[in-house]
Amino acid sequence: MTRPRRFYIETWGCQMNELDSQRMAGQLMQQGILPTREVEEADIILLNSCSVREKAEQKVYSRLGEYRLLKRGKGDLLIGLCGCVAQQEGERALERVPDLDFVLGPARVGELQDVVARRRAGERVVATGFPESRQYDIDAVSRHGEHKGMVTIIEGCNKNCTFCIVPKTRGPERSRPMADILGEVRHLLDYGFQEIELLGQTVNHWREPGGDWDFADLLDRVARMPGLRRLRFITSYPRDFTPRMVEQVGRHANIAPYLHLPVQSGSDRVLRRMGRGYTRNEYLDLVGQLRRARTDLALSTDIIVGFPGEAEEDFAQTLELVREVRFAVVYAFKYSPRPGTAAPRLDGAIPAEIADERLQRLFALQEGIQREINVGLVGKDFEVIVTGWGKQPGTQTGRTPCHRVIHFETGPEPVSLGGTTTVRVETAFAYSLVGRRLEAPALAHS
C-alpha cells in the first residue's frame, strides 16, 4: 500500500496568517494530501512567515536552512516560503536558498494548488504581488480543530503608519463584498461554529466595494444572523471607529464585550511621529464612548516602546494612559525598524537597554492591573466557549465572552471543542482564570 502524502505547515504571526494556513491546508487536503505534526514525515513543508518585527527574515532563513537538510534522501520533498516574508523577499529567497521550491505571497494563497503543480512540472515559482481578482474557495479551508470560524473581510492597509511593514507585505486595502462575507458566515454557522471572528488589518475600515455600506452596516447584518452566539472582530483602527459602529457594539448582545484597539503610545508627540492620525484625547474619548455603550467591555491594545524620539516624558504618558484605561491585556513590543518604512529615518534612536527597561516597567504595571481586574471576576459566572483540553486530566480550557482564558474541571461529560458551558470563576491570576463548571447558569457579562 502506498503511503499517503503529507504536509506540514508552520505558522508565525497574526490571525490573518492563521487563516491563510487553514486555507493552504484545505487546498492540499482537497488533493488527498494529509496534515502531519511531524515535519520529518512531510512531503510538502510550508513556512507561513511574519515580518512585523526585525530579524524575521534571519529567523525564516535559518528555519529554511534546517528544513532543507530534510531534502537529503527525500528528493521529492517540496519546501515553500509563504506569508509576509515571502512577499517581502520574493525572488531573492529563491536565490538565497537553492533548495527552496516556491515563494507564495499572502495575496496569492488561493493559488497554492497551481503553484505546487507548476513546481512538480519543474518550475521554481515566485507568486507574489496583489492581483486584482483573487482565488478564494470557502470550501477549501481546513477548520479542523478550530473553535471559531475566521472570516477575512478586508485585506491590506492604506494607512502607512511610519513603523509598519504591513502595507508593503499585504498591499493596498481590498474589501470583500458583503454578500460573500455573509455567505461565508452562514456556511460556518451551518457547519456548527458558534463564534465568528471577522478579520482585517483595519477591520473597521471595511466598505462595500462600489457601494455605501460601511462596517457598522456589516456588523449589524452579521450580528443578526440566526445561530451566531459570539461575534468578534480584529483589528480595529481607532480613527476609523464611528458613532454608528459604537452603537452596534452596544446594541447586539452577541457582539463579544472585548475589543482590540491598538493605541501604540500615550504621547501625542510620538503618535504624530508614528503617523497614527489620532491624539491621546481622541483615543480616550473613543474608549469612553465604547464603555458607555457597553459597560462590560474589556479592551486590549498594542504598545510600541522605544519608538525613535520617545523621551522619558512620552513614555510616562503611555504609562499614565495604561493606568487610566485599565486594559484587560497589553501586547507591548520594543520598536523594531522595518525595511521600506519611514520610522528608521527619524532622529532620536532609543538605546536598546533603555527600551528594555521601559518595556519591563510597562509589563510590571500591566500585570498588576490585570491581576486586580481578574480578581474582581471571582464569583462571577460566564458562558465559556471551549477551546481545548487542560494540562491536567479531566480539565478543559475556554474563553469567556471578554476573551479571558479560563481553565475548569469538565465533570463526567466533557464539552466538545467549540461548544459552550457555564463556569463560575473561583481563582484569578494575572493571565488566566480558574473556575468550576455549573449546571444551572446565572451569567455575568463582564
Minimum distance from residue 120 beta carbon to ligand SF4 (Å) = 35
Q: Would you say 309 or 411 has its CB closer to ligand SF4?
A: 309
**Residue 67 or residue 278: which is nearer to ligand SF4 going by CB?**
278
377: DSSP letter: T
Which residues is 329 bridged to in the sheet?
Answer: 300
From the CB of residue 408, how many other CB atoms can be counted at a distance below 10 Å? 26
Our CB check for ligand SF4 shows the closer of 128 and 202 to be: 202
Greatest extent of the chain over all pairs of C-alpha atoms, in Å? 69
Cα separation values, 235 from 9, 46, 139, Å: 24, 25, 25
- Rounded least distance, CB 162 to ligand SF4, Å: 9
At residue 406, the 3 state secondary structure works out as strand
Residue 151's φ and ψ, nearest 5 degrees, are -130, 120
Rg of the chain (C-alpha set): 23
- Report the nearest approach of ligand SF4 to the CB of residue 42 (Å): 32
Name the minimum Å distance from CB 215 to ligand SF4.
14
Q: How far is the CB of 213 from ligand SF4 (least distance, A)?
A: 21
Residue 105 C-beta: closest distance to ligand SF4, Å: 16
Q: Of 225, 232, 228, which is closest to residue 249 (Cα–Cα)? A: 232
Q: Which is nearer to ligand SF4, 240 or 367 (CB)?
A: 240
Tally of residues, the chain: 446
In Å, what is the CA distance from 56 to each residue of 154, 339, 353?
Answer: 24, 11, 21
Residues 6 or more apart in contact with residue 439 via CB below 8 angstroms: none
- 80/306 with CB nearer ligand SF4: 306
| b/e 233-258 (16+ beta carbons within 10 angstroms → b) | bbbbbbbbbeeebbebbbebebbbbb
Residue 388: CB minimum distance to ligand SF4, A: 29
Listed in sequence order, the residues at least 6 apart from 281 whose beta carbon sits closer than 8 Å to its beta carbon are none
Nearer to ligand SF4, 169 or 400 (CB): 169
275 phi-psi bin (left φ>0, alpha ψ -120 to 50, beta other): left
Residue 313 grid coordinates? 516624558
Work out how close the CB of 350 gets to ligand SF4 at its nearest, in angstroms, rounded to a whole number: 19
Q: Which is nearer to ligand SF4, 7 or 163 (CB)?
A: 163
Beta carbon of residue 347, minimum distance to ligand SF4 (angstroms, whole number): 21
Q: Which residues bind ligand SF4 (CB under 6 A)?
A: 157, 159-161, 164, 166-167, 201-202, 237
Residue closer to ligand SF4 by CB (options 168, 187) is: 168
Contact at 8 Å (CB) between 358 and 315? yes
* Main-chain phi, psi angles of 373, to 5 degrees: -60, -45
φ, ψ of residue 150 to 5 degrees: the values are: -95, 135
Residue 224 C-alpha cell reads as 443578526
**Nearest residue (CB) to ligand SF4, 194 versus 201:** 201
